[in-house]
Amino acid sequence: MIRLDKSAEDQLVAFYPEAGVSGSIDLVRFNYSQDYDLSSGSFDGTILSKKQWVVASVSGLDVPANTGFYTLDIYELLSSADLIWNTAASNWEDTSTLWNVGQGTVEGQYLTTERAYISGSNESSTTTYYSSNQNGAYITYNS
């Protein structure tokens, strides 16, 4: 299970890929689907280590804003793919940028699927009160 926090600037993600990561790959793409409302999207990470486990750095600014459980499909991300007509080796449906404009990114090899919990910007705050003779925690919700 991967845990991400929307408010954290940089955070590490570790996962064990089902297929080996290519030696020249430095980026990964996380395609997410929220388990509650099935909203989806993607964010990218930078690979820091790719021995048996892959460790990547992800910015909290890029993760989804809503708190909840997500399914992450993780792919290699091929950057600087040549997207000029008749010269690209990329499939049309695999490309996530405008064609005929130079360079972009293309999803490469599928690596794995992971579960994730994301602490988003809509999560309620928790206030803890302590007294001298009793420790207790009370959750208060802001409307």
Distance CA 27, CA 98 (A): 20
pLDDT tens-digit profile of 25-38?
A: 889 999 999 988 88
Distance CA 107, CA 123 (A): 31
Look up tokens 């690209």; give the residue: 88
Q: Where are the domains of the chain?
A: 2-138
Question: Per 3-state DSSP, what percentage of the chain is helix, strand, and coil (rounded to 5)?
Answer: 0, 55, 45
Look up tokens 């399914």; give the residue: 71
Look up tokens 């994730």; give the residue: 116
pLDDT tens-digit profile of 81-120?
A: 555 555 555 565 665 555 545 556 678 889 999 999 998 7
pTM for this prediction: 0.71
Burial of 4 (0-12, 13-18, 19+ CB in 10 A): buried
pLDDT tens-digit profile of 5-62?
A: 888 889 999 999 988 888 888 899 999 999 888 899 999 999 999 888 999 999 999 9
Distance CA 79, CA 85 (A): 17
Distance CA 46, CA 32 (A): 17
Distance CA 16, CA 49 (A): 11
